[in-house]
Amino acid sequence: MLFSGTSRTIESYLLDLSHCTEFRERNGVTRRLYTAAWKQAQSLILDWMCEANLDPWIDAVGNVHGRVEGFSDQTILTGSHLDTVVDGGAYDGAYGIIAGIMALGEIKSRQIPLSRSLEVVALCEEEGSRFPMTCWGSRALLGKISREDLALQDAEGVSVSEAMQSCGLSPHEIDWTPSYHYRGFVELHIEQASQLESAHCPIGVVNTIFGQERWNVTVIGESVHAGTSRIVNRHDALVAASEMVLSVYRLAQQYEDKAIGTVGLLQVQNGTSNCVPGHVNFTVDLRAQNDALRESLASELQSMFTECGRRYGVEIVVDPYTSVNAVSMNVELQNLIQKAAHSQRLNTLLLDSRAGHDAQILGTTIPTAMIFVPSYQGLSHHVNEFTKKEDLINGQNVLREVLERAANGMFS
Ligand code: HGY
Ligand code: MN
Ligand code: MN
């Protein structure tokens, strides 16, 4: 029971939630949006919010909300995302949800009078691991999703709309201009890098979240006989794509602290060993500390790609399908986090996040801040993602104190 006096540890909840995975036979956690594993996790979260007496409800896109009512009509929100990458870890997203439920459950059980209400949300999707979109749950809260999103398809050709309905959700019930009004948002998350671990610091206070954009790149050459075609006459899509992949890598090497680029997926269409590849797709994930730098790197990369296309006689189509701006966190909430941590004799470190988060979406409209806890060897999106119990509990205690303070006027 989440809140019945027998206080289960946060680790036991994380373990239960990690069992909601698409591939039980594989290591790691795979919980992509609107899959059966995702639906199973959503039900578990609903049960835990019920046990914590948070009067939970599920909104039209599948976000699960729980509340503790305060006197005013203002609400402070906390939470994180329920989905994961493929073969990811047990902490990314899940930790912020469970710690939020435990914090609100404890505040509710102690019947602390609150001037503002508190709400925790399990956001349905952030990773972009199934459909070519990201942050579907947090964008829905802000009315920043579109009817076109419903037609987006996964690799098997299943649309968002069809996948929603397979989970008992109805696209017709989406409120395209939602009435949610939040006074602030605080997201607790693992750092997914190793700055806190290297600095032996238990609590991170996020300063800026890097902006990021993701491209689908299609390279169209000509598939010909691998034995009889001469190199000079080839339009080899894979050789051209390989050179473009290396140009992303070299740019990342050059700008590492301020920007980073990755090619995470590359597919040869209908490839066979005895044919020159005629059609290749690959993705680019480009991030930077500020949007001006990201834009200039994006145009530098696209010029390199155009030059590569000319050299190998292939056509290149770049589809920048998502883009999220860099967002600076709210200073008042950052100070609140520092005060709460220091009152618990925990040091803090101000740091940037190269990982994207729902806070990056909500922070465009609502005063927002993030609390980080250390990640073992900085690993994340990795089967060995891990955070020590004491670090998990430190983060949970700081979050609870920040929410109490923010709900009781210590945040203007
Ligand atoms: O990709 C990211 O940075 C985040 O984990 N979705
Ligand atoms: Mn995350
Ligand atoms: Mn992630």
State mean pLDDT over 221-234: 97
pLDDT at 7: 66
Residue of 31, 125, 127 best suited for mutating to test ligand 1, as the one with most atoms within 8 Å of CB? 127
DSSP state of 134: -
pLDDT > 90 in the chain, percent = 93
CA 343 to ligand 2 center in whole angstroms: 27
pLDDT at 209: 97
Reported as a single tens digit per residue, the pLDDT across 189-218 is: 999 999 999 999 999 999 999 999 999 999
DSSP state of 329: P
Entry pTM: 0.92
133, pLDDT greater than 90: yes
321, pLDDT greater than 80: yes
* Residue ranges lining ligand 1, Cβ < 6 Å: 126-127, 355-356
Does residue 262 contact residue 252 with C-beta atoms inside 8 Å? Answer: yes
Residue appearing with tokens 């480009």: 286
411, pLDDT greater than 90: no
Q: Which ligand is closest in space to the CA of residue 128?
A: 1
Q: Pull the structure tokens for residue 387.
A: 């955070």
Reported as a single tens digit per residue, the pLDDT across 352-365 is: 999 999 999 999 99
- Please give the Cα distance from 371 to 188 (Å, whole number): 5
- Please give the Cα distance from 337 to 197 (Å, whole number): 19
Residues in the chain: 412
pLDDT at 167: 97
Domain ranges for the chain, please list them. Answer: 10-210+326-407, 211-324
Does residue 123 contact residue 138 with C-beta atoms inside 8 Å? Answer: yes
Reported as a single tens digit per residue, the pLDDT across 339-348 is: 999 999 999 9
**Helix or strand run (H / E) with residue 394:** helix 389-407
319, pLDDT greater than 60: yes
Name the closest-CA residue to atom 4, ligand 1. 356
Q: What is the CATH number of domain 211-324?
A: 3.30.70.360
Query: What confidence category does residue 5 fall into, taking pLDDT thresholds of 50, 70 and 90?
Result: very low
179, pLDDT greater than 80: no
Closest-CA residue to 120 (of 403, 408, 410) = 403
Reported as a single tens digit per residue, the pLDDT across 257-309 is: 899 999 999 999 999 999 999 999 999 999 999 999 999 999 999 999 999 99
Residue of 135, 381, 382 best suited for mutating to test ligand 1, as the one with most atoms within 8 Å of CB? 381
Reported as a single tens digit per residue, the pLDDT across 78-91 is: 999 999 999 999 99
State mean pLDDT over 108-116: 92
126, pLDDT greater than 50: yes
- Please give the Cα distance from 162 to 404 (Å, whole number): 40
125, pLDDT greater than 70: yes
Show the CA angle centred on residue 376, arms to residues 370 and 379, nearest 5°: 80
pLDDT at 141: 95
| 330 half-sphere exposure, CB direction, 13 A CA radius | 22
Backbone angles phi, psi at 72, to 5 degrees: -90, 175
Q: Pull the structure tokens for residue 159.
A: 């649309």
Q: Which ligand is closest in space to the CA of residue 286?
A: 1
> How many distinct helices (H) and strands (E) make up the chain?
11, 14
State mean pLDDT over 33-39: 98
CATH architecture of 10-210+326-407: 3-Layer(aba) Sandwich (3.40)
State mean pLDDT over 55-73: 96
Nearest-atom index, ligand 1, CA of 81: 6
Nearest-atom index, ligand 1, CA of 356: 3
